[in-house]
Amino acid sequence: MRSKVDDPDKLLCTFHCGESFEHLINILEYSDEHGPIKYLGLGGMVGKSDFVLKGFLLKCFNIISKSSNPNIKVHAFGMTKYDYLNQFYFTSTDSTTWLMTASYGNIIIDTKPVYISDHGLLDNDNIINKNPAIKIEFENKLKKYGYTLDELVGDYKKRRLFNLKSLWEWANQYNPPKKIGTKIELF
């Protein structure tokens, strides 16, 4: 396919969780008249258990670090797990967590989902049902983003906007793990 397009670097070769790691090795060792592949996608991770996901990422980054292409840029599809973003060196990621979280009645604050929907007024996990001191502290956090609890409780669109602001703040403070020579610092 690379020989059939004007700019082969716009193709994103993707390796999926569950595929044979031979495919990843082949991607990393591949080279043609345009050189090695510059950008790799990692996919098939959505819905996987933490055990499977962490094992997959550890193995991928170990293989990448030992390959002839250790500086390949890595994109993770469907990745907003903050622990993994802080452990593995991704060039980019994408996810709909911010959107789906809001649709299910949650906001993301301090990288954690908090249930606030008026559809769960009887749910013990709902922030509305917490003791007054916790609610006041929570409302003060919301003010920082220019929102009140009352407006977020019943409006999924405002929860989406809140989540975007919260994730934007996190992204601006994000300090990705460093690559050290040809090895990747995993922890």
H or E stretch covering 91:
none
**Lookup: tokens for 97:** 């967590």
Find, among 80, 78, 79, 75, the residue nearest to 91 by Cα: 75
- Average predicted confidence (pLDDT) for the chain: 87
Residue 68 has pLDDT above 90, yes or no: yes
Mean pLDDT of 68-77: 94
- At 159 the pLDDT is 93
**Comparing 113 with 8, which gets the higher pLDDT?**
113
Higher pLDDT, 76 or 178: 76
Report the pLDDT value the prediction gives residue 61, as an integer from 0 to 100: 94
CA angle 22, 27, 30 (to 5 degrees): 115
Read off the pLDDT of each residue in 114-134 and give the average, rounded to a whole number.
84
Q: What is the pLDDT of residue 179?
A: 66
Share of the chain above pLDDT 90, in %: 45
Largest distance between two CA atoms of the chain? 66
148-187 pLDDT, tens per residue?
998 999 899 999 999 999 988 888 888 878 764 434 444 4
Q: Establish how many alpha carbons lie within 13 A of residue 84's alpha carbon, considering only the half-sphere containing its beta carbon.
A: 24
Domain assignments of the chain as residue spans, ordered by start = 2-95, 97-169
Q: Of 10 and 28, which is predicted with more confidence?
A: 28
* Other residues' Cβ atoms within 10 Å of the Cβ of residue 63: 16
> Would you state the pLDDT for residue 5?
80
Residues paired with residue 75 on neighbouring β-strands, in sequence order: 41, 92
